[in-house]
């Protein structure tokens, strides 16, 4: 299969020896096992990695394809698997989470602590009338309370939907409404980079926008003690509702197919989709990928820098490491506070052995280190590290090499993990004790994942030729549906083009002609990847045109950016004459703030360009390919003869 001789970085002995998957023959054996008996392979792992209340008798049900079911007649509880199971195994006093606040205070939380806090909150939620199957929105900072909120929902069979703390009131409202949430868990404020930022006030605003009548209560974790408004009868303090609750709570035993969570993500249309995940299959993949991709051993200190508002924070903070009884670092703050050495200092202080972050963070820390010796990683002792990981976007070879050399000291494999909100966990990734690495490639499928590159008709393309990334067989942790919109689920992921047979990832890929290694070539739909965050171009366009006083028309494209991977570039036609100079600057600022309010700061366009019109074909289609060239600052080489008004190209040359 793979040809180790072309790989620049073979798995080092120091990691390979004693790894759970040690050497390529071990990897290939697992792949062969899955090929020989697909359902049998996943059933074996499901028995090994998950503790079942009632064992499943049937592995995969394809009768309602593409609505696949895994282990459906098995029952379990995810929180029981993450917490009670560890305590029962004698790990009650083991530190589950080392928590560090924005301002550097460190606290340690054992498995027994987490279990007791989860049980208390589970009881409190039940006391508020939250039942199995109800949806609960979590709008929380990075905190023990945030993780406990997720675990408590899992414990009572409520389906959580975590909304990233950077989303605006409008976005939060849309998600609460779509999910029909009965309760919101939030904090008074969050603290990031030395600043207090509102959370509760945004929940208040979201609920006041209307459409959220399903919400009965708001439970508030007091993080900063900042001033907040209080709605008697609706709002409750977390410490009040949990104080008198017992610290044990019987788990709700649910079917493996019971929805553990919804997580909203961007797609090709203006409306974010609520990706629905299962309990059994999801937990299985969270556990097995945490174990094999990160080679997580009992004495490792694992640190995933993601936020619980994204899928990475679900699978590799809230569930995977806990399901294995691991010890992890959880961080409230940001990588550049008090300075850009923060990550390196924390690795040193907590003796982190496995570090998982995003290319955008690495790129910005490279810049910072190059500009300031004091925050260069060489100033820190990083010798505790043995494995590094990357996620969220392609990692460019230069950043890979720097990460490998300056953070990993040349001795730590980098697992470049490709996956998506929809896949639940890693689907294409190296295994650190086995896979020889090539910078810029996510290498080979996780054992059991049938990833392939095909053409528009669903036919395999030869290695060395680019195409569309698909997964040919259902897998346990896959998306089950889009909440409330099964038709959209089918159309987005199992389109007719492939006769509804293959899962369509939405990314392009190419396999190396010799090794078969996968390289992801980027999204093939209208989704941008800004600092590892997914943003739909249509979502941003809708937000812009919602400014009905100012904006007549808008088109949004991405352009490459050295730090954020892609940057958002908006082309705007105003309802007034095209502005220039200071007026253009002021309007650009107003529009950025507007988008920040409509969606959240992560969606603010970096460049705004004003035209009297947008470049369109004579049939009225916006010429997006041309806009992408303009956004990049390239000379326009495309045929512009079909353009209705070629003169506007000059106007669009100036970005504000
Ligand atoms: C986990 C996560 C998914 C999209 C995905 C792809 C991009 C993620 C990547 C990668 C290249 C990697 N992506 N990991 N591209 N190499 N290792 O990021 O989920 O937020 O849903 O984004 O991110 O484009 O389709 P999500």
CB 403 within 8 A of CB 602: no
Q: Which residues contact 538 (CB under 8 A, 6 or more apart)?
A: 268, 269, 270, 526, 556
Ligand 1 pocket: which of 419, 425, 427 to mutate (most atoms within 8 A of CB): 419
pLDDT of residue 117: 98
Q: How many Å is the Cα radius of gyration of the chain?
A: 24
Between the CA of 176 and the centroid of ligand 1 the distance, in Å, is 25
Between CA 110 and CA 122 the distance in angstroms is 18
320 is in an annotated binding site: no
Between CA 569 and CA 631 the distance in angstroms is 6
Ligand 1 pocket: which of 534, 537, 603 to mutate (most atoms within 8 A of CB): 534
CB 493 within 8 A of CB 422: yes
507 is in an annotated binding site: yes
Residue 522: Cβ within 10 Å count: 16
Between CA 295 and CA 12 the distance in angstroms is 13
Reference 15, options 444, 437, 439, 432; nearest CA is: 432
pLDDT of residue 642: 67
pLDDT tens digit string along 50-89?
Answer: 999 999 999 999 999 999 999 999 999 999 999 999 999 9
What is the number of residues in the chain? 656
Between the CA of 130 and the centroid of ligand 1 the distance, in Å, is 33
CB-based pocket (< 6 A), ligand 1: 265, 310-312, 391-394, 416-421, 442, 505-507, 520, 523, 529, 532, 534
Between the CA of 316 and the centroid of ligand 1 the distance, in Å, is 14
394 is in an annotated binding site: yes
Between the CA of 421 and the centroid of ligand 1 the distance, in Å, is 8
Please state whether 388 falls in left (phi above 0), alpha (psi between -120 and 50) or beta. Answer: beta
Strands (DSSP E) found in 428-485: 451-454, 467-471, 481-482
329 is in an annotated binding site: no
**Nearest CA, atom 15, ligand 1:** 393
Ligand 1 pocket: which of 290, 423, 437, 520 to mutate (most atoms within 8 A of CB): 520
Reference 100, options 225, 196, 192, 199; nearest CA is: 192
458 is in an annotated binding site: no
Alpha helices (runs of H) in 294-410, residue ranges in sequence order: 311-313, 320-323, 342-350, 359-371, 397-402
Which atom of ligand 1 lies closest to the CA of 506? 25
Between CA 537 and CA 631 the distance in angstroms is 14
Helix, strand or coil, per DSSP, at residue 273: strand
511 is in an annotated binding site: no
Question: Which domains, ranges and CATH numbers included, belong to the chain?
Answer: 531-651 (3.30.300.30)
Element (H, E) at 415: strand 414-417
3-state helix, strand, coil in the chain (%, to 5): 35, 25, 45
Between CA 636 and CA 513 the distance in angstroms is 32
Between the CA of 374 and the centroid of ligand 1 the distance, in Å, is 32
Name the residue with tokens 């590799």. Answer: 316
User: Cα dihedral sign for 74, 77, 78, 84?
Assistant: negative
Reference 209, options 175, 258, 243; nearest CA is: 175
Ligand 1 pocket: which of 275, 415, 529, 539 to mutate (most atoms within 8 A of CB): 529
Q: Which residues contact 423 (CB under 8 A, 6 or more apart)?
A: 471, 475, 477, 478, 479, 505
CB 435 within 8 A of CB 24: yes
> Per residue, what are the HEC states of 231-267?
CCCCEEEHHHHHHCCCCCCCCCCEECCCCCEEEEECC
**Nearest CA, atom 19, ligand 1:** 420
Token pair listed for 354: 């496995």
pLDDT of residue 271: 83
**Nearest CA, atom 18, ligand 1:** 392
545 is in an annotated binding site: yes
Between CA 426 and CA 372 the distance in angstroms is 35
421 is in an annotated binding site: yes
CB 415 within 8 A of CB 432: yes
Helix, strand or coil, per DSSP, at residue 390: strand
pLDDT of residue 109: 98
pLDDT of residue 2: 42
pLDDT of residue 6: 54
418 is in an annotated binding site: yes
Between the CA of 415 and the centroid of ligand 1 the distance, in Å, is 14
547 is in an annotated binding site: yes
Between the CA of 131 and the centroid of ligand 1 the distance, in Å, is 33
Between the CA of 312 and the centroid of ligand 1 the distance, in Å, is 10
Between the CA of 592 and the centroid of ligand 1 the distance, in Å, is 25
What residue ranges of the chain have pLDDT lower than 70?
Answer: 1-7, 641-642
Between CA 596 and CA 594 the distance in angstroms is 5
CA atoms within 13 A on the CB side of 366: 19
- Describe the strand order of the beta sheet including 518-523 as a list of residue ranges: 451-454, 467-471, 503-511, 518-523
Token pair listed for 235: 């709002």
**Nearest CA, atom 22, ligand 1:** 420
Partner residues linked to 100 by β-bridges = 106, 331
Instruction: Measure Cα distances from 505 to 60, 492, 527, 530 in Å.
Output: 21, 9, 12, 18
Between CA 623 and CA 89 the distance in angstroms is 61
Between CA 148 and CA 118 the distance in angstroms is 5
Between CA 354 and CA 174 the distance in angstroms is 36
Residue 456: Cβ within 10 Å count: 9
Between the CA of 391 and the centroid of ligand 1 the distance, in Å, is 7
CB 481 within 8 A of CB 427: no
Dihedral of CA atoms 202, 208, 214, 220 in degrees, nearest 10, equals 40
Which atom of ligand 1 lies closest to the CA of 527? 24
305 is in an annotated binding site: no
Between the CA of 523 and the centroid of ligand 1 the distance, in Å, is 9
DSSP 42-79: HHHHHHHH---SB--S--EE-TTTTS-EESTT-EE-HH
CB 469 within 8 A of CB 394: no
Token pair listed for 322: 């806990």
Ligand 1 pocket: which of 293, 418, 539 to mutate (most atoms within 8 A of CB): 418
Which atom of ligand 1 lies closest to the CA of 533? 20
ipTM over 0.95: yes
Reference 154, options 370, 314, 305, 41; nearest CA is: 314
Between the CA of 392 and the centroid of ligand 1 the distance, in Å, is 4
pLDDT of residue 622: 83
Between CA 463 and CA 511 the distance in angstroms is 5
Between CA 144 and CA 583 the distance in angstroms is 46
Burial call 98-117: b when 16+ CB within 10 Å, e when fewer? bbbbbeeeeeebbbbbbbbb
Helix, strand or coil, per DSSP, at residue 143: coil
Name the residue with tokens 């002995």. Answer: 13
Residue 88: Cβ within 10 Å count: 12
pLDDT of residue 623: 84
Reference 167, options 266, 237, 100; nearest CA is: 266
285 is in an annotated binding site: no
Which atom of ligand 1 lies closest to the CA of 442? 17
Between CA 211 and CA 47 the distance in angstroms is 43
Helix, strand or coil, per DSSP, at residue 477: coil
Which atom of ligand 1 lies closest to the CA of 416? 17
What letter does residue 602 receive in the DSSP assignment?
Answer: G
């Amino acid at each position: 299969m793979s040809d180790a001789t072309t790989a620049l970085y073979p798995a080092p002995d120091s990691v390979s020896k004693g790894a759970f998957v040690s050497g390529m023959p071990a990897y290939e054996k697992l792949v062969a096992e899955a090929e020989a008996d697909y359902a049998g392979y996943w059933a074996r792992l499901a028995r090994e990695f998950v503790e079942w209340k009632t064992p499943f008798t049937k592995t995969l049900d394809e009768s309602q394809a593409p609505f696949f079911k895994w282990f459906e007649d098995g029952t379990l509880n995810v929180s029981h698997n993450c917490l009670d199971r560890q305590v029962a195994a004698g790990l009650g006093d083991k530190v589950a989470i080392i928590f560090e606040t924005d301002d550097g205070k460190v606290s340690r939380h054992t498995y027994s602590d987490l279990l007791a806090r989860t049980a208390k909150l589970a009881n409190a939620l039940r006391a508020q009338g939250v039942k199995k199957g109800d949806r609960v929105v979590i709008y929380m900072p990075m905190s023990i309370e945030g993780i406990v909120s997720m675990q408590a929902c899992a414990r009572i069979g409520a389906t959580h939907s975590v909304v990233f703390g950077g989303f605006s009131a409008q976005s939060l409202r849309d998600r609460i409404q779509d999910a029909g949430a009965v309760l919101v868990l939030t904090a008074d404020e969050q603290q990031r980079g030395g600043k207090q930022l509102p959370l509760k006030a945004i929940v208040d605003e979201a609920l006041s926008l209307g459409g959220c009548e399903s919400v009965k209560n708001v439970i508030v974790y007091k993080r900063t003690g900042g001033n907040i408004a209080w709605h008697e009868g609706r709002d409750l303090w977390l410490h009040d509702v949990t104080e008198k609750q017992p610290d044990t709570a019987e788990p709700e035993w649910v079917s493996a197919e019971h929805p553990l969570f919804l997580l909203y993500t961007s797609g090709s249309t203006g409306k974010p989709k609520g990706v629905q995940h299962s309990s059994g299959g999801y937990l299985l993949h969270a556990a097995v990928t945490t174990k094999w991709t990160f080679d997580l051993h009992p004495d490792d200190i694992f640190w995933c820098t993601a936020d619980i508002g994204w899928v990475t924070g679900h699978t590799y903070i809230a569930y995977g490491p806990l399901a294995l009884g691991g010890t992890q670092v959880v961080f409230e703050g940001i990588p550049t506070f008090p300075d850009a050495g923060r990550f390196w200092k924390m690795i040193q202080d907590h003796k982190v052995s496995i570090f998982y972050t995003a290319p955008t963070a690495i790129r910005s820390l490279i810049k910072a280190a190059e500009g300031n010796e004091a925050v260069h990683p060489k100033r820190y002792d990083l010798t505790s590290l043995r494995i590094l990981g990357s996620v969220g976007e392609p990692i460019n070879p230069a950043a890979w090499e720097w990460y490998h050399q300056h953070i990993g000291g040349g001795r730590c494999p980098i697992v470049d993990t490709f996956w998506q909100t929809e896949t639940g966990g890693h689907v294409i990734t190296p295994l650190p004790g086995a896979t020889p690495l090539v910078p810029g490639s996510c290498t080979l499928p996780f054992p059991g994942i049938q990833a392939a590159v095909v053409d528009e008709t669903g036919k395999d393309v030869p290695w060395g030729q680019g195409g569309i990334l698909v997964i040919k067989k259902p897998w346990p942790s896959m998306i089950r549906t889009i909440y409330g919109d099964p038709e959209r689920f089918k159309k987005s992921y199992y389109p007719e083009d492939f006769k509804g047979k293959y899962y369509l990832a939405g990314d392009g890929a190419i396999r190396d002609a010799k090794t078969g290694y996968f390289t992801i070539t980027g999204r093939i739909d209208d989704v941008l990847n800004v600092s590892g965050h997914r943003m739909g171009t249509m979502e941003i366009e809708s937000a812009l045109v919602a400014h009905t006083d100012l904006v007549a028309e808008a088109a949004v494209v991405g352009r490459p950016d050295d730090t954020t991977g892609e940057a958002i570039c908006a082309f705007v036609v105003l309802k007034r004459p095209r502005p220039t100079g200071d007026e253009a600057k002021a309007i650009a600022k107003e529009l950025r703030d507007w988008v920040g309010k409509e969606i959240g700061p992560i969606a603010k366009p970096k460049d705004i360009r004003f035209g009297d019109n947008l470049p369109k074909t004579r049939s009225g289609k916006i010429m997006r390919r041309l806009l992408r060239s303009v956004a990049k600052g390239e000379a326009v080489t495309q045929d512009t003869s079909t353009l209705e008004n070629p003169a506007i190209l000059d106007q669009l040359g100036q970005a504000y």
